[in-house]
């Protein structure tokens, strides 16, 4: 990027206001602007990496402090335009799905089309629109596509505050939204960082099934169900399997319990509505997909990137956590004949869980039943629209 800081003919205050208007026309719920100084976040990032809280996400350690230095990632950058876009689908069925242990729970951000390309395209359009008014502008859009500390940037740009679960919370819009950034080399006026409104609340820390939020604002990814079902490519540690319940792709518990999500807005994007009945599918229905069917039905979905083996692994664990059912045992046994060694190990675990339940008749052995029941009650009471 070139340095645009000496362009006195441009009214950057007026341009910033136009950028926010254009962003909303493109479908972004909110647009904010900040400088690139994230030095205050560097010690925490270093400590997080040293604690190995990134697990096997090697790219986190590989890029190191570049994540906190936008101007190193894209030389010449002096401002970041941060945007957020709502993704909460109509009729989210949170409590309904979590309550039915024989149905699959997919994190609500992944029910529809993959957001990365769509948001990046819109950010690209925003960049070209700005360039019409600032000819020598250089810009680069990011949506989870490079080492960027997107939440601290969004916080600094006024889009919300980073909550104790490490996600961004907006006072008027909850946390069900995606983030994206446009790095630019023009001296736009910056927005103000909002105050943190979490207060003494620790609901997200207490509700986490695997105790992944090891202290306020710090998540050990190795314990997080989203990491275990999406990022982890090997076997899921035994200690976490009973705690995963019917969650086969991601986990929303810490957001569901957050009191600020009573203000969450539904998405206006058709792309984020549920596809392939993923908000109402039984575990057995999804487990029956052959690999080509999985690839076909997840085309354009963020789910596709985990691959068929992880998909089968995750559902195997959920079937182990499901209520005792002879059909489940039959299906697991049949699938075992052609399963890869990794998937077979999880199927055998699931069969063991089902047999235990059979021996205990109607007595359930769900380790996390109390927390899940509390979460369901909270969602039904606090988020009746989306329950």
For position 77, what pLDDT does the model report?
A: 97
- What token pair was written down for 289? 């997909």
Which pLDDT value is given to residue 380? 85
Provide the pLDDT for residue 96: 95
The b/e string for 306-341 (b: 16+ C-beta within 10 A; e otherwise) is: bebbbbbbbbbbbbbbbebbeebbebbeebeeebee
Q: What is the pLDDT of residues 150-172, one digit of tens each?
A: 999 999 999 999 999 999 999 99
pLDDT at 366: 54
Q: What pLDDT does residue 6 have?
A: 45
Alpha helices by DSSP H, 39-87: 42-50, 58-63, 70-73
Active site residues: 144
H-helix or E-strand spanning residue 248 = strand 247-249
* Residue 269 CA: distances (Å) to CA of 27, 116, 119, 312: 8, 14, 11, 30
- Which mean pLDDT values do the consecutive 10-residue runs of the chain (387 residues) have? 56 97 97 97 94 89 87 95 97 95 97 95 98 94 91 98 98 98 98 97 97 97 98 97 98 98 95 95 98 97 97 98 96 96 98 90 56 84 82
Can you give the pLDDT at residue 134?
Answer: 92
Q: What is the share, in percent, of the chain residues with pLDDT greater than 70?
A: 96
184 forms beta bridges with 79, 139
| Residue 249 CB partners (closer than 8 Å, separation 6+) | 106, 107, 110, 229, 230, 303, 306, 311, 314
Rounded distance between C-alpha atoms, residue 254 and residue 251, angstroms = 8
Prediction pTM value: 0.91
């Amino acid at each position: 990027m070139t340095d645009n800081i000496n362009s006195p003919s441009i009214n950057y205050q007026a341009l910033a206001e136009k950028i926010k208007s254009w962003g909303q026309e493109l479908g972004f719920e909110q647009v904010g602007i900040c400088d690139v100084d994230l030095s205050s976040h560097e010690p925490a990032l270093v400590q997080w990496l040293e604690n190995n809280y990134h697990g096997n996400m090697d790219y986190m350690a590989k890029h190191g402090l570049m994540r906190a230095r936008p101007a190193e990632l894209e030389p010449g950058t002096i401002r970041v335009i941060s945007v957020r876009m709502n993704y909460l689908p109509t009729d989210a069925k949170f409590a309904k799905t979590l309550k039915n242990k024989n149905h699959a729970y997919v994190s609500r951000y992944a029910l529809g089309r993959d957001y990365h390309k769509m948001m990046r395209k819109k950010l690209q359009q925003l960049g070209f629109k700005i360039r019409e008014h600032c000819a020598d502008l250089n810009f680069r859009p990011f949506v989870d596509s490079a080492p960027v500390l997107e939440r601290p940037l969004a916080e600094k740009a006024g889009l919300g505050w980073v909550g104790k679960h490490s996600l961004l919370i907006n006072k008027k819009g909850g946390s069900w939204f995606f983030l994206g950034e446009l790095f630019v080399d023009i001296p736009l006026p910056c927005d103000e960082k909002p105050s943190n409104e979490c207060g003494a609340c620790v609901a997200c820390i207490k509700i986490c099934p695997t105790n992944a939020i090891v202290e306020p604002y710090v998540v050990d990814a190795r314990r997080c169900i989203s990491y275990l079902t999406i990022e982890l490519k090997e076997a899921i540690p035994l200690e976490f399997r009973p705690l995963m319940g019917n969650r086969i792709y991601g986990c929303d518990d810490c957001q569901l319990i957050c009191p600020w999500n009573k203000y969450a807005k539904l998405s206006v994007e058709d792309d984020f509505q549920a596809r392939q009945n993923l908000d109402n599918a039984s575990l057995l229905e999804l487990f029956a997909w052959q690999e080509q069917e999985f690839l076909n039905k997840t085309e354009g979905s963020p789910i596709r990137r985990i691959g068929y083996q992880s998909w089968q692994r995750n559902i195997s664990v959920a079937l182990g956590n499901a209520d005792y059912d002879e059909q489940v045992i039959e299906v697991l046994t049949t699938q075992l004949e052609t399963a890869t060694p990794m998937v077979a190990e999880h199927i055998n675990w699931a069969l063991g869980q089902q047999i235990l339940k059979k021996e205990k008749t109607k007595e359930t052995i769900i380790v996390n039943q109390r927390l899940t029941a509390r979460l369901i009650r909270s969602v039904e009471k606090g988020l009746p629209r989306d329950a």
